Chains A and B, each alone.
Chain A
Amino acid sequence: MLDISDLHVEVDGTEKLHDINLHIGQGETHILMGPNGSGKSTLLKAIMGFGGYTITSGSIVFKGTDITRMPIHERAHLGIGMMFQHPPAISGLKLGKLLGATSHLGNDAIEALAQTVNMEHFLARDTNVGFSGGEIKRSEVLQLKVQQPDFLMLDEPESGVDLENMGLMGKEIANLLEKDVHIVNRRRSGLIITHTGYILDYLEADQGHVLIDGRIRCHGNPREILRVVKEKGYGECLRCKQM
């Protein structure tokens, strides 16, 4: 579904990602770990196509189409969706209106989806304005439930979420990734940035990657990577044989 080859990305004239190679197949969920500032969010934003993240070489191919230079909204139309860690608050733009503008769903359908993540009372509120950490995440999940992307990028879905909300979030993210569908028929793929690995309590991931200083240092079983990082820190990944 997603093929990233030899990707180099610059931010403000400095190369932040070096020679990234990543292949995510249809139906697969990958976990991306790494210390703060290692370039995890940069990678997601480069895949989404945000300005300020300049691809100096390499390519991103999604569903067989080279999207390296494609505008953000066309990538969204192709089926890429993103859950933001720090989405902007947009005054005056009601969440319900935003959901209506980005889909063909009617008000009733939007209301029904909102109820599944306890957001029905937020539809008449300005998007993300004054939302708590958990509310922001639920708003993001709701937007993705409306958007129905084939490939989901989740930037730290656990951060700022209390335990009760984490249960709901985990279940909803698992649904978005079609974890209830047999692996043979599963179409949706995902790339999840996590520091804690809590998300793995709610869904299985197929592969893990560790990003350090803008380079992917190792690939492997996500639970094993998580265990090694918990026990020995990221330094162990630098010594990883799979480099």
Chain B
Amino acid sequence: MSALQTDVGDIERLPEKDRERLALTGLEVGMQNRCGSFFQIDQNVIQTTCGAEGIEMIPIKAALEKYDWVGDYYWNAVSRDKDKYTQYLAKQENPQGLVVIAHEGVKVEMPLQACLFLRDEPVQHVHNLFIAREGSEINIISGCASSWQKEHGAHIGVTEIYVGKGAKVTSTMIHNWNPGISVFPRSATVVEEDGTFLSNYVCMQPVNRIDMYPTARLVGKNAVARFSSIVVATPGSTLDLGSRAILGAENASAELITRAITTGGTIISRGHILGEKDNTRGHIECKGLILKDGVVHAIPEIEGTLTGTELSHEAAVGKIARHEIEYLMARGLSEEEATATIIRGFLDVKISGLPAVLQEQIDAAIDKAESGF
């Protein structure tokens, strides 16, 4: 096992409450189901370890020094000048974050974990690069959380993902912030020929604001992208979320799936698929459930520029149908049990190709949130 830095002790010394919060985002300190781990508290990388042959996990500064070519991927998918958040990150003299490199043909099902923890600093900045070279397959679970006593703060992160020819990247991100934290991820993915990119996002705990609109550019034939988001907005939370797929090569396809629940917060669910090459297909599905007063604003956009593209979308926003609740009550469930059962079903977006451990992680995050409905 190559270990650039391993100080698991720092993680183990975290207060119990923080460790619980991190566990909900998928962090496994003991790494029973992980083949690599990266842990950053504020701006400090305290653990980088990877036991998988052919996979490297390196803090970004070290990676840029180790491999010249990593520089080609740095600020490539995401532009430095995209907005004030990327500009802020570009100005950092000491960039922090993680580079994952899956070398050619290396396939590892066991997930790598990347944990970003906001504790003492007002702002955490992170720049990650995930590079899956030709024919490789990796699963990355990124857990982002703030300390239980952190009242205010911001997390600004850029993640650039490169899915090489025939490669597959599954990126699962689980957020667990506090009501005063604002979060601005800026992510983009480039998928080459026959490559597959699966992105899963789960946020079910209170936060001040999350603002993100990751883009996947499918630049190679037969490239596939699928974004699945499961989010809950509690009172005071504003989630402005979207995902975009640009079908820029023949036979590329994309699917953007969102399940959004508000219990009083605001969710803006954007989606955009651009079909600009022949035999491309795309579908956006957004289902929103308003449990208490709140806002779910679905804005699906499909844009085709030639006859050979087939794009569709469906969006539905509403409350739980009364007759569904009564149906389950007629089978003996109380109104509360029936409601929770229906919500659980609503959120049950099974993601094909997701390793069981990651699905369990998502299920655990849903179960935890469900107790609050």
> Footprint of B on A, CB under 8 Å?
48, 50-52, 71-73, 76-77, 81-82, 84, 87-88, 90-94, 97-98, 101-102, 126, 143, 147
Contacts and interface: CB of A to CB of B under 8 A. Distances in A.
B348 interface: yes
Contacts, number: 69
B335 A71 contact: yes
Interface stretch (B53-61, B183-191, B276-284, B317-325): B317-325
Contacts of B327: 84, 87-88, 90
A82 B330 CA distance: 7
B73 interface: no
Give the dominant DSSP class at A's interface: mixed
Given A51-B322, A71-B335, A101-B341, A92 B347 contact: yes
A93 B333 contact: no
A181 B93 CA distance: 84
Given A90-B345, A93-B342, A98 B328 contact: yes
B333 A73 contact: yes
A72 B329 contact: yes
Nearest to B334: A73
15 contacts: A52-B322, A72-B330, A73-B335, A77-B332, A90-B345, A91-B345, A91-B346, A92-B345, A93-B342, A93-B345, A93-B348, A101-B337, A102-B333, A126-B345, A143-B331
A101 B333 contact: yes
Given A88-B323, A88-B324, A101-B337, A93 B329 contact: no
B347 to A, nearest CB: 7
A42 to B, nearest CB: 14
Contact of A73 (B332, B347, B348): B332
A72 B345 contact: no
B345 A102 contact: no
Q: Which of B324, B346, B347 has the most CB of A within 10 A?
A: B324
B310 interface: no
A98 B324 CA distance: 12
B344 interface: yes
A92 B285 CA distance: 14
Contacts of B240: none
A116 B285 CA distance: 36
Interface of B: 321-324, 326-335, 337-338, 341-342, 344-349
A176 to B, nearest CB: 15
Nearest to B331: A102
B329 A90 contact: no
Given A92-B346, A98-B328, 8 more contacts: A48-B330, A73-B335, A76-B329, A76-B331, A77-B332, A90-B327, A92-B345, A98-B331
A143 B349 CA distance: 24
A4 B156 CA distance: 66
Contact of A88 (B321, B333, B335, B348): B321
B225 to A, nearest CB: 23
Nearest to A91: B345
B350 to A, nearest CB: 9
B361 to A, nearest CB: 18
Given A87-B327, A88-B324, A147 B345 contact: no
Contacts of A143: 331
Interface centre among B322, B329, B337, B347 (most CB of A within 10 A): B329
A131 B344 CA distance: 21
B326 A76 contact: no
Contacts of B334: 71, 73
A93 B326 contact: no
A46 B321 CA distance: 19
Contacts of A90: 324, 327, 342, 345
A63 B259 CA distance: 44
B328 A102 contact: yes
Contacts of A72: 326, 329-330
A175 B347 CA distance: 37
A81 B328 CA distance: 11
Nearest to B348: A92
A71 to B, nearest CB: 7
B331, B344, B345: which has the most chain A beta carbons within 10 Å? B331
A102 B332 contact: yes
A48 B328 CA distance: 12
A73 B329 contact: yes
Contacts of A92: 344-349
A157 B323 CA distance: 19
B52 to A, nearest CB: 32
Given A101-B337, A143-B331, A51 B326 contact: yes
A81 B323 CA distance: 16
Contact of A147 (B332, B342, B349): B332
A113 to B, nearest CB: 14
A71 B332 CA distance: 10
Contacts of B345: 90-94, 97, 126
Nearest to B324: A88
B230 to A, nearest CB: 11
Contacts of B332: 73, 76-77, 102, 147
